[in-house]
Amino acid sequence: MRMNRKITVFILFSFLTAAGIYAQSVAPVVIASSGGEGEAGGIHIQWTVGELATETLTGANMILTQGFHQPHIIVTSIDEIPDTEAVIVAFPNPATDYIAVEQRSGAREGLHFGLYDLQGRRVLSGQLEPHHTSLDLIDVKAGTYFLHIYDDSKTLQTFKVVKNR
């Protein structure tokens, strides 16, 4: 009888102890020399120093990353349909006071432009002249912008423009 009681207590103790033990955990764990996280201005950043192996492999339709911190990637495409008739150039770049936009061949009427900052806000917009248009940048703050050239149905070309001063 005493032996049965010992076995019962042992089995009961084993079950109660096993309830609090997690045999296989799927929580991410990293062994590194340093790391941390912070938040400022609505941006949250996490970092790790000293991971033993990190690599990014890129394939035709996939990206495989190795490492503790996995990026949350949002892919945005720029729908730019090349127009073989029109050759459009924008200069000087970097610019200070103006940007000249020229249609060097296949000049067309009805083209428009939009100058956007890095947050996607439109800074300037208007209609292009058939051969040469000068965009006044005096009131535009220094920074990086995207100049979109488009017609009524599609974007023809996008330029990255740097404004100094």
According to the model, what pLDDT value does residue 125 have? 94
3-state SS class at 54? coil
For residue 82, is pLDDT > 70?
Answer: no
pLDDT score of 79: 62
Handedness of CA 106, 109, 115, 121 (dihedral sign): negative
| The dihedral formed by the CA atoms of 12, 16, 19 and 23, expressed in degrees to the nearest 10 | -70
Element (H, E) at 25: none
Give the Cβ contact number of residue 112 at 10 Å: 14
Cis peptide before 94 (omega within 30 of 0): yes
Element (H, E) at 35: strand 34-40
Sign of the torsion angle spanned by Cα atoms 114, 120, 121, 123? negative
Mean pLDDT of 104-131: 88
Residue 57 pLDDT class (50, 70, 90 cuts): confident
How confident is the model over 109-132, as a mean pLDDT? 91
Confidence of residue 135 (pLDDT cuts 50, 70, 90): very high
pLDDT at 10 over 80: yes
The rounded percent of the chain whose pLDDT value lies above 70 is 79
The SS3 call for residue 70 is coil
> Left, alpha or beta for 156 (phi > 0: left; psi -120 to 50: alpha)?
alpha
CATH fold label, 87-163: Immunoglobulin-like (2.60.40)
Looking at the chain, the whole-number percentage of residues with pLDDT higher than 90 is: 30
Which ranges in the chain are annotated with CATH 2.60.40.10?
A: 87-163
Concatenate the DSSP letters of all residues of 74-118 into one string.
------B---SS-EEEEE-SSBSSEEEEEEEES--SS-EEEEEET
